[in-house]
Structure 1
Amino acid sequence: MDKLLQKIEQCRKEMIALSDTHKLNSEVIVEKSKKLDHLLNEYRMNNMTNN
């Protein structure tokens, strides 16, 4: 699996795990969501330039 996809999957799993103990609008979840958004945008941009 692509290294960036691995980072995306890891971040997603961390966010899901955090949601078990934190409210969805908590700072820790929001920050993890922002990180995931950034990774997803990076992946999308990489795929746009490689196609």
Structure 2
Amino acid sequence: MLKKQLLTQIELKRTELIEIAMKHGFSSSSAIICSQELDVLLNKYNEMILKNEFRSFRSTKEQWNI
């Protein structure tokens, strides 16, 4: 999944969560499920960012023979 697609999904899920929480409350089962789905998307995004940073670090390390 591309970074841009993932960010779009995150924003859509965040909007959905806000709407659900405003209608049913933050502790409703539907808000909790939506929040967990948002957590999964955020974790995927963080994993993607960390992998890219590691690749960049590794490339720089190899470039400087460290």
Segments of 5+ residues of structure 2 without an aligned counterpart are 54-66
SS, match of residue 20 in structure 1: helix
Q: Give the 5 Å matches for 1:1-51.
A: 2-51=4-53
Give structure 1 stretches of 5+ with no counterpart: none
Runs of 4 or more, structure 1, over 6 Å off, are none
Higher helix fraction (1 or 2): 2
State the shift of 1:38 in Å: 0.5
Normalised by the size of structure 1, how large is the TM-score?
A: 0.93
How well do the aligned residues superpose, as a CA RMSD in angstroms?
A: 1.2
Structure 1 or 2, whichever has the larger Rg, is 2
Overall identity of the aligned pairs, in %: 33
TM-score for the superposition, normalised by structure 2: 0.73
The alignment covers a number of residue pairs equal to 51
